[in-house]
Structure 1
Amino acid sequence: MDDVFVGSLMTSPVTTVPADTPAKAAAALMLEEGISSVVVTDDDNQPVGILTSTDFVAIAAAERAAGAFSVADHMTTDVVTTTAQASIVDVADLLIEHGIHHVPVVDETEGVVGMVTTTDLTAYLAGAVDAESTRAWT
């Protein structure tokens, strides 16, 4: 498993939004695309935050309307990232260490190039995904 790389399991392209996107629009986009997070990027496609379905649970728990806020008001700004060449063991350690479920995959020149999630790792371990057939970034 040490020789399986993030690039072979990540989802690409990843859905990104600018920080000034209304939270309600981000929620609608996530529902439309059937995803549980969006990466918030700057003009150079570099990650500045991440907004997840867990963030929307926090909004609901606080009884606030998501339509009144932008993505920047709710995103996590301490974004943990990885590269396509990282081992899935290393990214699994990151997920556990930080208690997160989504890790944007970044490239030094291209910015955000993908997303790897706990679901991706689980699918691989369950045999539902063949890493050999998806090695686009390794």
Structure 2
Amino acid sequence: MEDILVGRVMTSDVITVHPDTFVEEAASLLLERGVGSLVVVDDDGRLEGILTSTDFVAIVAASKPKAQTTVERYMSTDVTTASAQDPIIEVADRMVDLGVHHLPVVDDDGGVIGIVSTTDLAEYLSGLETKRTV
């Protein structure tokens, strides 16, 4: 895998916004385009920053006045899951096919025993690469 370069696996259709874009518009773009981040650029297309879906958690937490809205209104209920015995390649394929970054891991009774994320998979692959090159 060490001969696979970033240029081969990167997404080149980058969704960009300017620093003066309103957060409501940015949130709509994230949802409409199904992406987790927007790259912030100046008028010449030079990198200024990045705005991620995680940043929106901070935006909502800091908003005043607080909206008294429960998570039930926005949560996804058609949740795809994994079991602890699923091969990671199958789970990774499932996550890519569905365009999701987190899969709850459940037992045979549907009880939550963990969660697997794209970060978990990347850390695992990174560890494999480190062990192979040492």
- What's the TM-score once normalised by structure 2's chain length? 0.47
- What's the TM-score once normalised by structure 1's chain length? 0.46
